Every structure is written in structure tokens, then in C-alpha cells.
Amino acid sequence: MANDYYATLGVRRDASPDEIKKAYRRLARELHPDVNPDPETQEKFKEVTQAYEVLSDPQKREMFDMGADPYARGGGAGPGGFGGAGFPFSDIMDAFFGSATQRGPRSRARRGRNATLRVELELSEAAFGTTLELNLDTAVACGTCRGEGAAPGTHPETCSTCQGRGEVQQVQRSFLGQVMTARPCPACGGFGSVIRHPCPECSGDGRVRTRRPVKVKIPAGVENGMHIQLAGEGEVGPGGGPPGDLFLEIVEKPHPIFNREGDDLHCTVEIPMTAAALGTSVTLETLDGAEEIDIRPGTQSGQVITLAGRGVRHLDENGRGDLKLHVTVETPNRLDDEQEALLRRLSELRGEERPPGKFSPAQRGVFSRLKDVFNQH
């Protein structure tokens, strides 16, 4: 067999059509005369193209696999040769210029950019939701030209260079024949039309910047750092294009009493040791209003009193988190003589003059516990 087309393209004999096409395009980029004008390279390019024409055609490939070279008789000049209908001009075009399909004019209307706005909320607003009136500095459609970009009484005119196609074609001659390429029209920028008289209000952009009010509804249960997307509330695009989206970044203000952990609220109450021993009640201003909290006799420091359902509403769900009251028992550090005598008398009555104390292992940190786990393996 005079020619081994598989070896020319560098593929196996069982290569798929896609593998053959990829191999040809890779070699065509390397050997094309516009890239490498060396005469030997041009000859190699002809061989690669001939091999691809045979192997990309199922009938010619089958003939070649059976031992017959489709080019043996006509030397490549007859039907199916370089001048025939089977020559892969479209694949050469794809290899160098991409698809040869005409794209047509570009639209002046493009989607607007997204906008982000930081919104500060009180804890109660984040917990129960609220409706806010916001002022947004953004781009809106020009009221003078209604987004068209042309001055009143005028309209965009068809480009005389590309006749409205948005692209111009250029024909180049090579040893393969005429090669046609297309590129965006330099006169109209690919739009297919030109604005001879731009709108004096927006200078042809089709939009102007202004401050507009936006009414937004904040759902219950949002928290610090969360983003809320409002579709179509962002900037209007150039040429009167559709608006982008508005993203609200939630910033939760610190609360003077409560710390938030998820949907639960935490606070600390300090009570004297006598109140802890005898019991008392305190008034707490919760998110739902003032509430009397009973401190039972014998309450210890560090004890947690849980008020179920007094926390933040669950986002997109029913129910609420809890409010957890952490008790701290305050020990007096300054006593007058009468107070000291009373405490000593109480100590005698309870038999606590020399308390033995109760010892237990100290609470270890999480890193110490993790270290023990790793040492066991």
C-alpha cells in the first residue's frame, strides 16, 4: 500500500471518527501554510489533508482498509480530490476560525449587573421578620429615549458598512483556493446599526443612574451574614436590557442582653448567694415583652433556666428556638462585722466551719480530649 493514512494522522486503525477529526485539526494548525510557509511543510499539509479526506469518509475508509487507495487512480485531482466535493473545507475553517456559521448582529440590550446592599437589623427584626423601605443607588432605563439610546425623534440607523448583518466578510486566496472569514463590523461594533444622534440624557447608553425606593420584605429567622436574593431588582442593563438581581446582606446589630446561637438566645443573670439559697424572681425583658422568671431555692451558679419557644423563629419553618438563662451566683467579698458574724453563725448551724470540700476531675478542654483519642490509635 503506497500510503498509510493512519500513520500520516498518527491514529490507530480502529480510531473513532472523533479521534480522526481531532488528530487532523491538531496537525492542520501546525502545518498550515499561514503558520509555517516552508515548502516541505506545505507538502506535509497536503498529505495530512488527503489522509483525512479518506479516513473521514466511511466509504473511502472501507475501501482503503480493503487495500485500495482512493487516490491511486486520479492522483487526488479527480472526484473526491482536492478540487472535488469531498474536500473538508469546513473542517479547515473550524480548525482555524471556529464555526463558519454567520452569527448575525449583536443586541444592544444586555442584562444589567447584580447589586449588593448591606441591611442592618435589630435582633427582633431578624427574629420575627420585617418590611423595610430602602433607597437604592442604581441604573434605571432612560426616560427620555426609553432605553433605545437615540435622541428623541430619531432611531438607530442600519449600518451602511455591513448592511445590518453586524459582521463583515473577507476573502483570502491560498493554494487551497479562496478562504472566507467573518469578523465583527468595525463601523457598528457588531450591532448592525449605528446611533447617529445619541440621547442627550444617557449619551446613548439607554440608562441613567438615580436613587429609587425599594420595598423589601425580610423573612423571620434571618441571621448575620445571610444573603437574600431579590430577582430583577438590580441595575437595568445597557440598551434597556433586563435588570440584574439585588442581594441583601444581613447585618445583625449586637443586642444589649442576648447573644444569639442559631435560633436560640442566651443571657446571663447574676443573683446574690442569699437569693440563690432562698429563691427569688427576676424580671426579664424578652423579645415578647417583660416576663417574671422564678429562681428556685438552692439554685447553683452555672445552672441554666430554659424558656422554651422564646427564641428566634425558624427560617421557613414553624416554631421558635429557646431562650436560655445562665445563672451566676455572686459571692460577697466585703462584709461588715454584723454580716460576718451572721455568716459565721450560719456556718456553725450548718456544721460548715471547716468544710471538707468535694473533689472531682476538672472539666477538660476539647483539644485535650481529642489528643487522648489520637493517642489510643
The binding site for Zn(2+) consists of 142, 145, 159, 162, 185, 188, 199, 202
- CA-atom Rg of the chain in angstroms: 41
CA dihedral over 30, 55, 20, 177, signed as positive or negative: positive
Task: Give the closest residue to 168 by CA, choosing from 176, 156, 160.
Answer: 160
Residues contributing to the annotated binding site: 142, 145, 159, 162, 185, 188, 199, 202
CA dihedral over 332, 270, 295, 355, signed as positive or negative: negative
